[in-house]
Copies of this chain bind each other. A is one copy, B any other.
């Protein structure tokens, strides 16, 4: 299959999922969001489930790539993670919290989904814990348990996404609370990483 065609179907899936939710997601509606018919989509993906697996893979992969930046400074690296997680509604990944929540709610009935979310959670917690460990070792952060800080950030991220979907609340509301908590633990003040 053409990479462009694949991207178009996955993109149409994202729009259809955000607009109608998982329960209202049909192959016809994905087709409506693309330039193809539902039969064309079945030509490229044998089953709806196969398409959804590919979609979740793509979604997580794109998100993981946003967690890292080239910088060495732990504060800048932590800032990059917070940007990715509590990102303002950027035009490229708009609807990300909705799409991911719709799929998360299916995890109990979809072993493959659950595995991917578990894997991704491990990656994200690892990234944060590494940053904290490096920052503490370099004397840039106060002493703190890296695993515990990672768990705080990821759980707050999960909460922010749930709130964005269920309460239509902007994730930045949560970012402020997380930054305050990090300041208490790491002596880290928001924005300081970028300025000096």
Interface residues of A (CB under 8 A from B): 18, 20-24, 98, 101-102, 104-109, 113-114, 117-118, 121, 148, 151-152, 154-163, 165-168, 173-174, 177, 180-181, 184-185
Q: Which residues of the partner chain B approach A180 to less than 8 Å between Cβ atoms?
A: 148
Determine whether the beta carbon of A155 is less than 8 Å from that of B163. Answer: yes
* This protein's copies in its complex: 2
* Interface of A: prevailing SS: helix
- Contacts A21-B106, A23-B22, A117-B166 given; does A160 touch B152 at CB 8 Å: no
Looking at the complex, which one of B98, B102, B118 makes contact with A167 (CB distance below 8 Å)? B118
Distance of A58 Cα from B69 Cα, bound (Å) = 47
Looking at the complex, which one of B108, B154, B160, B167 makes contact with A21 (CB distance below 8 Å)? B108
Q: Which residues of the partner chain B approach A22 to less than 8 Å between Cβ atoms?
A: 22-23, 105
